[in-house]
């Protein structure tokens, strides 16, 4: 008998400043502005705010790289942190065009 597949809730695309403590899973796009020596923690900035992303295994992303992070929201007294599940390279993404398209789809 095949193993049961446990479905995850989908990630909601958010600007970092829009992440709420009651969000469960989010996706954010931004630039890595800091990285721990062990590469298990990065800080991502999307222009609206910054968020710390932690991971159990080392991340291969580099400083100043544009990434999309899919992660679980961890509420803290001082805001939120993400438990990173996937860090995707988005360095070829035109951020200005992406923001323009997001603005059009919200209208």
Locate the DSSP E strands across the chain: 12-13, 25-35, 41-45, 50-54, 66-76, 79-89
pLDDT score, position 66: 95
With a cut of 70, which residues of the chain have pLDDT below it?
1-3, 5-6, 106-107
Sequence length of the chain is 107
pLDDT digits (tens, 9 = 90+) for 32-57: 999 998 889 999 999 999 999 999 98
Distance (Å, whole) CA 86 – CA 59? 9
Domains of the chain: 12-106 (2.40.50.140)
Distance (Å, whole) CA 74 – CA 83? 7
pLDDT score, position 3: 64
Q: What is the pTM of this model?
A: 0.85
pLDDT score, position 32: 96
User: How much of the chain is helix, strand and coil, in % rounded to 5?
Assistant: 15, 40, 45
């Amino acid at each position: 008998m095949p193993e049961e597949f446990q479905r995850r809730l989908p990630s909601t695309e958010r600007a970092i400043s829009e992440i709420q403590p009651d969000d469960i899973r989010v996706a954010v796009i931004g630039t890595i502005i800091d990285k721990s020596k062990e590469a298990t923690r990065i800080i991502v900035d999307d222009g609206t705010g910054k968020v710390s992303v932690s991971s159990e295994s080392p991340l291969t992303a580099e400083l100043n790289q544009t990434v999309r992070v899919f992660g679980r929201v961890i509420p803290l007294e001082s805001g939120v942190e993400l438990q990173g599940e996937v860090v995707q390279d988005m360095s070829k993404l035109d951020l200005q065009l992406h923001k323009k398209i997001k603005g059009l789809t919200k209208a």
